[in-house]
Amino acid sequence: MNKQLLSLIAIGLLSTFACFAQNPLPLYGNSAAKADTQLTIESMLSYAIQDEYVAEAEYEAIMEKFGYMAPYSNIKEAEGQHIAWLKLLFTSYSLKVPENNASSYIYVPTTLKEAAETGIRAEIDNIAMYERFLAQPILADPRYADIVAVFVRLRDASKNHLEAFRRQA
């Protein structure tokens, strides 16, 4: 590439980053959970469902790009089940289910190897989020045993998904 073209690319990238820095997307899912120092039952459930929304949307987008295949097809179906479990908890606690804005937060990898690596990172972050939730003192209250049970199931499912992505990578 010539220097003029490289300069134009650099200017374009800098202006894109400057725009994003001025108008960043709000935190969502596990990134929002990491930043939250005052976790509540409602916020944990919200971050959890947002993270499941993102996973479902991302795996769907990967299959649209690369074709319908395992482990994405199986894990996408599991994410739908995880969302259903969380919606039941929202209903049980008379909480409003957050809107699914996941399409604004997904990343579609350029290769299948990158897709597997993206899945690995996402599942590691997901496991860490559920571990953090399960360590919250409020969840020691027996009234929240159903939430604890779902968070344990979701964490354990993420451990299985992580292994599937590691095999693919």
Average pLDDT over all residues of the chain? 87
Phi, psi at residue 88, to the nearest 5°? -60, -40
- Segment 59-81 shows an average pLDDT of 93
- Condensed to tens digits (0 to 9), the pLDDT of residues 95-113 reads 999 999 999 898 899 999 9
Q: Which CATH architecture has domain 26-168?
A: Up-down Bundle (1.20)
48 within 8 A of 98, measured Cβ to Cβ: no
* The pLDDT of residue 116 is above 70: yes
Q: Residue ranges of the domains in the chain? A: 26-168
**Side-chain-facing half-sphere of 32: CA atoms under 13 Å:** 18
